[in-house]
Amino acid sequence: MSAYDHPNYQEELERLNNTISYLENYNEKFLNRKSSIDEAVDYGKSHYNSDNAEQFNELVINTALQDTVKGKIRDITKSISKPYFARVDFDENGSNKHGKYYIGKISLMNEENQEFLIIDWRSPVANLYYEGRLGKASYNCPDGEISGQIKLKRQYSIESGKLKEIFDIDITTNDEFLQAALGASKDNRLKDIVSTIQSEQNKVIRADMWKPLIVQGAAGGGKTTIALHRIAYLMYNNENNIKPENFMIIAPNRFFLSYISEVLPELGVENVTQTTFEDFAFGIIGKKLKLKSSQQKLSGIIENYSSEKCKQNSNIIAASSFKSSLMFKNMLERYFKKVEENFIPKVDFKIHNFILFSYEELNRQFFEEYSYLPFKKRVNEIKKSLINKVKNNKKKMLEQVEKEYDEEIDEVRAAMNDCAERRAKIIKIADERDELLSNIKKGLKTLIKNYVSKINTKSVLDYYIGFLNNMENFNKDSVSNELINYVKNASLKNLLSKDIEVEDLAPLMYIKFSIFGLDEKISLKHIVIDEAQDFSLFQLYILKKIINSSSFTILGDLCQGIYSYRGINDWNDVAKYIFENEDSTMLSLERSYRTTIEIMNAASEVIGSLKNSRLPKAKPVIRHGEEVKVFEKDSLKEIAKDIDDKILEMEKQDYKSMAIICKTLDECKNLKRLLKNKKNVSVITGKEKEYSGGVVVIPSYLVKGLEFDMVVIANASKEEYTNSELDVKLLYVAMTRPLHKLYIYSVGQKSEII
């Protein structure tokens, strides 16, 4: 309701004004403090003396304080316009305390009375707002479970420091406040949702960090946003032992990273690594190869899905599926065993007649003592053993050499009387002795170097080629010879051109990790994977191996698994094969908040045509809108004419974003050529690093994870979208992108699945 009509308006207005006033004064203090610190840093830099340790330490401390104060000022400045968004009144059992908790994005304490003016949304007590209902309730904190009674739950709409609306609520689902938030227009960036987090979303955000979390999330269920809020929550609650650089978000592409770029800073979190699997993989492998676009491959599969090239498609899909599987990983491990058996030279390490390490002893070190290390790093440890052995035995060896030669000289003396021949023999033996002693003293390092040089290490790529050439020797899983030969020939053909596919990245990473180890220490403690249904089990396996932890948040939607031929088709497989014997948490985000009930119902009918129980239907909430409009036209040119009108309609209705979705990139380019109103229309190819908003023409396989005010599906004809799994999922993805309006066109008869 309007704030003015609420019976507690004056009380709430006074509270808001007092909080803003306190924030403004608080901000002024920090600005003054920042000014002093800035001066100290500038002075420290301009008068820097490398010999003055005290001055150096002071500069380091002030520089760190400078960053902290800068962040604090940023948070306070943002909070002045909207200090909080909710309030919870909670009476704790066994206490006379009547707690009034105002919830916002930061914590703010009144320094005079030590009472909180604002409670951070990530704090334990704030959980009462997200999950508690009026009446009996409790929350967990470091002191244990706190029980009591929720007396009041209230939401506020505050804009530019002005109190606009007040809502008294019980739960946070079906209310005007959420409807207002969901009904807002969509621009070119994802926004935070701290004021409207729902109970099922809150469970995902606050789940245990150290247990693997797998989330099946409906289209529009807020997976991406919730993932980012989870990072902010985990940072807040583990700030003493977790740093931003310990987190990594893996997104589908750089275009998507641009789309989500503003959420974490809005939540007060900086410096979290945001990357794609491809970029992370190249960072591990260390060799920049030419990566063939997975989107291009999918586009080819889509275009040839119903053509005479179906056999070729079948081979491509089977090969991708196999190379992404744990069977392929198992074959690679058998190859590693073969490499391991022949890694150490089958010779003793000796100097002169002294065997310092027998081959058997060196092999024992390699296979047993250092078995926990990658092969190359085992050699480094063995090298240290050789150096220590030589160092500790150097004196003994020299004494032994002298003793042997002295005994030989004594034998000559005993056998012959003094004569020129005897003297010549003794001089020769002594010279040999001195030369050997000198060589031993000089050549110990060279000797070690020569031994290590016998360990012939190939490149990561050469090991992979060696594996591919001999794949049949490591096949114990009854993989057909036909498939092995196809994978071998296709992969080697690519590698000959210095090309690799996405499916090659996990094997190459595994070779690098197992044989060479990592070039740099990985500081990651938690990985968040968005659109995880498109990841293979092999990819998840190698990520877990690299960070040596099960601290993962894995979010995806099986209904949107357009890469299902190499991706995940059952979340239970992830729990069973990747996090085996570990207590995985599996949660669902069933409700869809993005789009209207009418649009979501139409999309659910499409995905329901697959009749697959593992593909759960999304449950739309709250918002009604126009019915989905379907138009059958005679040509793409006619459709383009209608779309020109829709672009004008978007501008009139003050919408900020619109997607024209075609099945393929070629169709996108053809359609744009036919548009008259094309000046501000962009074609998305997948290579973009920035998402600028406005009107875009985009292929169906690139639109996952994005959302727009309006969506036009340009050609959902009977020929374009068949009842195949891939076509159904592509159409479902396209239909679940709009917030407000969806128009579907077809050249000729519309698809039978609509």
Q: What is the pLDDT of residues 266-300, one digit of tens each?
A: 787 888 899 999 999 999 998 778 888 888 788 87
Q: At 220, which amino acid appears?
A: G
The whole-number pLDDT of residue 180 equals 57
- Are both 306 and 390 inside the same structural domain? no
Specify whether the CB–CB gap between 324 and 503 falls below 8 A.
Answer: yes
| Longest CA pairwise span in the chain (Å) | 128
Does residue 604 form part of some domain?
A: no
| Phi then psi dihedrals of residue 528, to 5 deg | -110, 125
Does residue 30 form part of some domain?
A: yes
CATH assignment of the domain containing 262: 3.40.50.300
Does residue 198 form part of some domain?
A: no
- Are both 273 and 142 inside the same structural domain? no
Q: Please give the angle made by the CA atoms of 640, 642 and 646, to the nearest 5 degrees.
A: 110
Q: Look up residue 733 and give its two tokens.
A: 């993805």
Report the distance separating Cα 665 and Cα 226, nearest Å.
30
- Are both 495 and 637 inside the same structural domain? no
Q: Look up residue 252 and give its two tokens.
A: 């589908």
- Are both 9 and 129 inside the same structural domain? yes
- Are both 267 and 407 inside the same structural domain? no
- Are both 7 and 141 inside the same structural domain? yes
The whole-number pLDDT of residue 654 equals 87
The whole-number pLDDT of residue 50 equals 67
Please say which residue of 128, 147, 171 terminates a domain: 171
Does residue 227 form part of some domain?
A: yes
The whole-number pLDDT of residue 438 equals 79
Query: What global pTM score does this model have?
Result: 0.84
Q: Look up residue 719 and give its two tokens.
A: 């020929």
Report the distance separating Cα 237 and Cα 641, nearest Å.
54
Specify whether the CB–CB gap between 222 and 254 falls below 8 A.
Answer: no
Find the helix or strand (DSSP H, E) in which 722 lies: none
Which bin fits 672, alpha (ψ -120 to 50), beta or left (φ > 0)? alpha
Q: How many residues does the chain have?
A: 754
Does residue 601 form part of some domain?
A: no
Specify whether the CB–CB gap between 553 and 522 falls below 8 A.
Answer: no
Specify whether the CB–CB gap between 725 and 610 falls below 8 A.
Answer: yes
Does residue 616 form part of some domain?
A: no
- Are both 105 and 57 inside the same structural domain? yes
- Are both 502 and 390 inside the same structural domain? no
The segments of the chain whose pLDDT lies below 50 read 173-174, 307-308
Instruction: Classify residue 687 as exposed, middle or buried by CB count within 10 Å of its CB (0-12, 13-18, 19+).
Output: exposed
pLDDT in tens, 84-100: 999 999 999 988 888 99
- Are both 355 and 409 inside the same structural domain? yes
Q: Tell me the β-bridge partners of 247.
A: 526
The whole-number pLDDT of residue 185 equals 54
- Are both 7 and 146 inside the same structural domain? yes
Does residue 183 form part of some domain?
A: no
Find the helix or strand (DSSP H, E) in which 598 lies: helix 597-608
Does residue 514 form part of some domain?
A: no
- Are both 333 and 395 inside the same structural domain? no
Beta strands at 354-357 and 349-351: parallel, antiparallel or unpaired? antiparallel
Q: How many CB atoms lie within 10 A of CB 92?
A: 15
Q: Is 686 helix (H, G, I), strand (E, B) or coil?
A: coil
- Are both 733 and 640 inside the same structural domain? yes
Closest to 619 in 3D by CA, of 225, 133, 217, 230: 217
Interior/surface letters 94-114, b for 16+ CB within 10 angstroms, e for the rest? eeeeebebbbbbbebeeeeee
The whole-number pLDDT of residue 308 equals 46
Report the distance separating Cα 719 and Cα 170, nearest Å.
50
Range of the domain at 128: 3-171
Q: What are the strands of the beta sheet with 552-556, ordered from one edge?
A: 273-276, 247-251, 526-529, 552-556, 213-217, 585-589
Closest to 182 in 3D by CA, of 704, 620, 702, 744: 620
CA 693 remoteness from chain centre: 24
Beta strands at 98-104 and 86-92: parallel, antiparallel or unpaired? antiparallel
| Structural domain count of the chain | 5
